[in-house]
Chain A
Amino acid sequence: MSTIDYTKNEVNVKGNRSLKEIDDLIIAPLDRIPNMKFFIAIGFTSTMLLIGTIGIALSFYYGTGLWGNNNPVGWALPIVNFVFWVGIGHAGTLISAILFLLRQRWRNGIARFAEAMTIFAVITALIFPIIHTGRPWIAAVYLLPYPNQHDIWVNFNSPLLWDVFAVSTYFTVSLVFWYVGLIPDFAVLRDRATGKIKKVIYSIFSLGWRFSNRHWQHYEMTYLILAGLATPLVLSVHTIVSFDFAVSILPGWHTTIFPPYFVAGAIFSGFAMVQNSLIVIRKVFDMDDLIPIKTLETMNKIILLTGTMVGYAYSMEFFIAWYSGSQPEYFTFVNRAFGPYAWAYWTMFSCNVFIPQLFWIKKIRTSIVPMFIIAIFVNVGMWFERFVIVITSLSRDYLPSSWAYYRPTMTDFAILIGSFGLFFTCVLLFTRFLPSIAIAEIKAVSEGAQPSHHEGEDHE
């Protein structure tokens, strides 16, 4: 039986590579012409993107009658997809900010990649509300308070406007956080670059970083501040997204459990998506040592934890529906589990609550294939969670005469496929053109990177 020696830091980067080798390994995908596998993958994802683009183009040409949205289900797949993608984004900020504050050093290998996924997920999510404005090229005119000749302002009381502020702040801060982390890495690329064009581009983005310790000092402090600001931010974003539902009076939406429930669900689905993508990346680019199985196991533990929290929320919703004594509320939940959308409800429940429980078994949470499959189930389940919340409540609301069964159309599915296409195309291009692991951060946690403290320094 092995015991853990808590007096030593765990090894976060295996293989005892020199700093130079770390550079070479991380930057290799940027320097060589990608192999066939990469082109097949990007061909596949950009085809998906094309399908989505056609779906959107048709919607603009013929109108939204192509979608399944109709009375009484006026909010349908577009908002399901929006909430799903914003949720996916949450893992990135959680890994880069909250785990940074908690000094979880295993995060260093995956933080950059997770942050990039946050940004791409939020971009993908933003497509849906921006199309919703009807004239996306002037969406900002509708959404932001600015002085105009109509002398009207946006409604600061509305959760939908809070959403505008929350999601745009989230996107901007994530982008800044990501870029600040990238500055030293751009400088590494600049100093390695041989081609003139590459050198100019990297110089511009590195801003002239000199690895000066007078800079590192402020840089680390600013990074800490950004992490501190991003931590409440990441909790606020899905809270405010949940207000879109919770502030309305529809049974099944009007509950106070929504904010924590949505945040837990967002982290749950986000981690599943990051885990899936990381497994692919570490295989394709041979980064098994930089992203050790230990990191994936820790992520699986978080998936297990948040999955259980989500399961608790499902059960608590049922309990409150009965305990409240409110008949419409009670009906809504019985209808969810046993009504026309029972298939969606039980897909959601088994994917999110039952299947992740397999992670209690150490063998499963440390072997690649089972954990990959379970994470896919989690993503499917979380998409269905949003589907169940939005569709079941609307399709049978207070007015039984207008009840109807909602069916998504081909165009709806095309746009859903397109959103996955956009996301994964961005991810693939990112791994090709930017270092997908934070070079400076991984160096700082590799073996022997920090002073040994044996020479009696007087600096502490």
Chain B
Amino acid sequence: MSKLYSIAALFKTPDEIMSAAAKVADAGYEKYDVNTPYPVHGLDGAMKLKSSKMGYYTIVIGLTCMSLMLYFMYWVYNVDYPQVIGGKPLFPLPAFVPIMFEITVLTGAVLTVAVMLIFYFKFPNNAHPLHDSSYMKAVSSDKFGVNIEAVDSKFDLEGVKAFLSSIGAYQIDEIYFDEEEVNTKHKILDSKFVIGMFLIAGFTSISVYLHMNKALYLPPFDWMLVQHKVTAQDHSDFFKNGISSREPVNGSVARGFMPYLYSDDPDGASENLVNPYIADEENIALGKRKYLTYCSPCHGDLAKGDSRLRGQFPNGPTLHSDKLLSWTDGRIYHVITEGQNVMPGYKKTVTRKERWAIVNYVRTLQRALDATEEDMQ
């Protein structure tokens, strides 16, 4: 369904368009426009247009974004993660000035253009009736045109045509448009648009996934997971036995390591081992600390076999039984070292001195709980 959009008239020189624009404005038309291939100076005045207000947008947007950036930097340095850098104060205003300036310019420029294009011009709009008309092709190149829209209150077809030719137009066209084609309805639910958005979403998701999970871990960039060095227990072609690490000379003893001769011989330990540490205050304090860490969970704080584990692990026996009282220090030391039944050995976690200190502490507990008359005095 074709409908009249406007009557468009063409002129040949800037002088002509200037007077034509003034006459159209004087005749009281409001819905009209002047199209020129370049800005002709003075046309705003002839068309009686108010001067542009774009500058206000720039200053408001620029100053707002600048303040927000300043606040952001304050927040980062003073609230979120206060830290002193280079001995400067937490709010180093001079150091912020370059960034504040750049943000003002960036947002002022980009958003002013966006406001102009989107809110003032309603761009992008390639569906305007004037597009693709011979009138548009003329004014985009070297002609100057006036077009008076059909929606103007003073519009009547013949009257406007007569008026335009009276002010010197050399060509007058009627511009029609198809209502179906040119509509201003929102196209947000248009199937093409929706499918397009889904495609973009899919493409973005897949490419972000590939980027973050695959591209980042491509072989040259394996974050040092793979290193060309020989590690212990590795295979090596260099040595005859194929093992990267070398074996020590027979009979070598590691520094600080004393071999334990009675691992399978509790009686031997009982007979031959003698506690080398005197049960002084310091030694008992050490024994107490280690006992409370390693022994007390099962045997109880006072070695009464009152486990804190409440049945989650078999209860350790009391250390005040007659059997224990009759054992030598070496025999107790052997159990701590090698373990017994479900109790593990502690030779890897507790040092020799600490094990003897625990023996001393256990002896102290036994004596405290089963004290003789002498002790009470």
List residues of chain A with CB under 8 Å of any chain B CB: 18-20, 23, 60-61, 135, 137-138, 145, 151-153, 155-157, 161-162, 165-166, 168-169, 172-173, 176-177, 180, 184, 187-188, 190-192, 203-204, 206-222, 225-226, 229-230, 232-233, 236, 240, 243, 440-441, 443-444, 448-453, 455, 457-460
Contact = CB atoms under 8 A, between A and B. Distances in A.
A157 B95 contact: yes
A218 B45 CA distance: 14
A214 B112 contact: no
A233 to B, nearest CB: 5
Nearest to A210: B130
A411 to B, nearest CB: 16
B38 A157 contact: no
Contact of A156 (B51, B95, B113): B95
A457 B33 CA distance: 19
Interface stretch (B74-82, B186-194, B286-294): B74-82
B101 A213 contact: no
B131 A165 contact: no
A457 B131 CA distance: 31
Given A152-B81, A225-B58, A457-B22, 6 more contacts: A173-B105, A213-B34, A221-B51, A226-B113, A448-B14, A450-B40
By CB atoms of chain A within 10 A, which of B54, B73, B80, B120 has the most? B54
B117 A213 contact: no
A232 B55 contact: no
Contacts of A449: 14, 38, 40
Given A191-B140, A240-B98, A455 B15 contact: yes
B52 A217 contact: yes
B35 A218 contact: no
B106 A173 contact: yes
A204 B54 contact: no
Contact of A210 (B35, B62, B92): B35
14 contacts: A192-B140, A210-B128, A210-B130, A211-B35, A211-B37, A213-B34, A213-B49, A215-B120, A215-B121, A225-B108, A229-B109, A233-B105, A455-B19, A457-B45
B362 interface: no
Contacts of B41: 450-451
Contacts of B36: 211, 213, 216
- Interface bracket on B: 35 or more
Nearest to B14: A451
B49 A225 contact: no
Given A23-B142, A151-B81, A221-B54, A441 B113 contact: no
Contacts of A460: 42, 45
A18 B35 contact: no
B125 interface: yes
B124 A444 contact: no
B14 A217 contact: no
B133 to A, nearest CB: 10
B73 A220 contact: no
A179 to B, nearest CB: 8
A230 B55 CA distance: 14
B177 to A, nearest CB: 13
Nearest to B86: A157
Interface in B48-66: 49, 51-52, 54-55, 58, 62
Contacts of A440: 37-39
A448 B142 CA distance: 12
B42 to A, nearest CB: 5
By CB atoms of chain B within 10 A, which of A156, A213, A222 has the most? A213
Nearest to A147: B80
B95 A451 contact: no
A459 B45 contact: yes
B110 A138 contact: no
B47 to A, nearest CB: 6
B18 A230 contact: no
A208 B55 contact: no
B174 interface: no
B150 interface: no
B39 A216 contact: yes
B178 interface: no
A156 B15 contact: no
Contact of B42 (A156, A192, A203, A459): A459
A61 B220 CA distance: 7
B88 interface: yes
Contacts of A216: 36, 39, 43
Contacts of B128: 208, 210
A219 B139 contact: no
Given A172-B110, A213-B43, A452-B15, A19 B141 contact: yes
Contacts of A176: 109-110, 113
A451 B55 contact: no
A188 B140 CA distance: 5
B136 interface: yes
